[in-house]
A and B are shown apart, each in its own frame.
Chain A
């Protein structure tokens, strides 16, 4: 009897609570169910049936066509996301380590400046960033997008690690210094091994952020370098030809599956990232 206020016995109010919660579940799930059902229908089936009608014939044609269209961009997204996530997490860990354990004059000010990056509306940096990418010869390349995602992911990754390391007693670092360990030895041998939870949080956060990004993708990449979100949007919003909703939905599922999978497998860390990234300052 530690947690709750309400008695567990059956009552009308408990019935009402459960009904409301289950109704809400249905409302949250319907779009996903509709997407799945539609993706397995044939175009005629879509016209004759309705959103929640069971497919007359289950067909994978929508998925095949969708993969033909966006499959290449799916791999673009992988090529962008993996290095950007790894590098920005590593940089964030190092920054967090310095900002918590090796503070120096001005490091707090820097942290304040960096934090603002969590709230920065990217519209204010799009133009200069695209000029810079052009100068670097990285315009419309996946490498360019990797760079951009590292730069603008730094605020959050640093915040995660800095807050995590602030809760680690700095006596650990002092003890290690007396034991003769240097800057990187302390980081690698003592702090990183105890950072597994926050590394997970950071990896998942960055993965969902970068995979789901559309703004940077649409501004900095064109043609063959586009990430899947841009490709999906192009597919869905083309006005040429007959709309094939089954293909649209299958493509949307393809774009959404990686993050959904991560969410289902590691929801705990996902939630911690959302709340930590959102609440802590």
Chain B
């Protein structure tokens, strides 16, 4: 049980290489579950290694319970880690794997036995204690790896993509189990993943990273509903948010976004009134589930007619693709309305949920959430959309 705070953490490998971590500021309360999420190479694993002390930071400070631990060696930090590859010691059986860290800390043998028994019971691996890691299935190895971390009763748990080597079914199971375990033990946890579902389902707080920068730090709901920029908006959510290039028009002092499906046009009133936006290249962000079929009785929401081009029934939903402003747009509809390719649908949007981004900088417009500086390379990536 401990608080964790990162103050302006920097990491560089020198030699003119770009910084791996840039100005990382984070803080979580005791018992919170922090997710570090981002594409590979974003620095999330480096950040985790820095917290563990396996790599030295080159600037800033890491504080646990308000004490600076950044100069301590890994063994003194009282942190346990679960690795993506599990990193079980291949020549030791499960019991010795779990007991190794306790032996290194000179715990008396009787206490070690007790602790191993407790952890084995908790994780239901009692029948595996005498086996070697090579004789275990992936899921069992995963449990042992967690057991090794649990036995230490550390201040903080670190999970480095612990589920990515499991098959899809087991991954969902273990995800629930980790959540259950955290609810029971209430230990501060940092969890690295590139899977946005894990990020959304497990985290109390989520930090979305890219290029060594934190793009946004907040609760899963904030990240999902109020993304700070195009990158965050595109990274979180499945199927991903639709990004539609738009031009704005000013009518009677109100800004309108114009959508064109080829057979119809729609003017979407926006809740912002920045002058000068009409001249800029903008991107409209709208999640698939925020597009719906217009009801038979008009409800006043703006709508548009569009032709169905592809349908993808997923079971719980029906994904329908239409074209707006020459961009393929995914709509997530209820599966019970029969829809076929070539049908013309009456679609409508909730203007309050629609997001607006600057095409050049990728930044979100019309909100107060301002992200940290965004690297110029972000911009290039989104210009094309």
Q: What residues of chain A have their CB less than 8 Å away from a CB belonging to chain B? A: 169, 171-172, 174-181, 185, 189-190, 193-194
Contacts and interface: CB of A to CB of B under 8 A. Distances in A.
B104 A174 contact: no
B21 interface: no
17 contacts: A169-B85, A171-B84, A171-B86, A172-B87, A176-B89, A177-B73, A178-B52, A178-B74, A178-B79, A178-B101, A179-B75, A180-B75, A181-B75, A181-B100, A189-B100, A190-B91, A193-B91
A185 B100 CA distance: 11
Given A171-B84, A174-B54, A175-B83, A181 B91 contact: no
Contacts of A189: 89, 100
Contact of B81 (A169, A175, A180, A181): A175
B342 to A, nearest CB: 51
Nearest to B55: A174
Contacts of A169: 85, 87
A193 B132 CA distance: 13
B24 to A, nearest CB: 20
Contacts of A190: 89, 91
A176 B100 contact: yes
A79 B75 CA distance: 44
B184 interface: no
Nearest to A171: B87
A169 B54 CA distance: 15
A172 B89 CA distance: 7
A177 B54 contact: yes
B80 interface: yes
Given A171-B83, A171-B85, A185-B104, A177 B91 contact: no
B54 A179 contact: no
A178 B158 CA distance: 11
A101 to B, nearest CB: 12
Interface centre among A174, A177, A178 (most CB of B within 10 A): A178
A174 B101 CA distance: 12
A246 to B, nearest CB: 51
A146 to B, nearest CB: 31
Given A178-B101, A179-B101, A180-B104, A194 B90 contact: yes
B105 A180 contact: yes
A189 B100 CA distance: 10
Interface string B100-119: 11001100000000000000
A194 B91 contact: yes
Contacts of A181: 75, 100, 104
Interface of B: 49, 52-54, 73-75, 79-81, 83-87, 89-91, 100-101, 104-105, 148, 152
Nearest to A179: B101
B78 to A, nearest CB: 10
Nearest to A196: B91
Closest 6 CB pairs of A and B: A179-B101, A180-B104, A171-B87, A193-B91, A180-B75, A175-B87
Nearest to B96: A189
B100 A179 contact: yes
Contacts of B86: 171
Contacts of A176: 89, 100
Nearest to B99: A179
A11 B80 CA distance: 65
A207 B191 CA distance: 49
Contacts of A180: 75, 101, 104-105
Contacts of A174: 49, 52, 54, 74, 81, 83, 87
A181 B73 CA distance: 11
Given A171-B83, A176-B89, A178-B53, 9 more contacts: A171-B87, A172-B89, A175-B81, A175-B87, A178-B52, A178-B79, A179-B152, A181-B100, A194-B90
Contacts of A175: 81, 83, 87, 89, 148
Contacts of B49: 174
A178 B89 contact: no
B220 to A, nearest CB: 28
Contact of A177 (B74, B85, B89, B105): B74
B286 to A, nearest CB: 41
B75 A177 contact: yes
B368 to A, nearest CB: 40
A185 B104 CA distance: 9
A194 B92 CA distance: 10
B149 to A, nearest CB: 9
Contacts of A194: 90-91
A194 B133 CA distance: 13
A30 B53 CA distance: 63
Contacts of B84: 171
Nearest to B54: A174
A175 B83 CA distance: 8
Nearest to B105: A180
B65 to A, nearest CB: 18
B100 A178 contact: no
B340 to A, nearest CB: 49
A174 B45 CA distance: 13
A55 B252 CA distance: 120
Contacts of B83: 171, 174-175
Contact of A179 (B53, B73, B91, B104): B104
A183 to B, nearest CB: 11
A190 B100 CA distance: 10
A139 B78 CA distance: 55
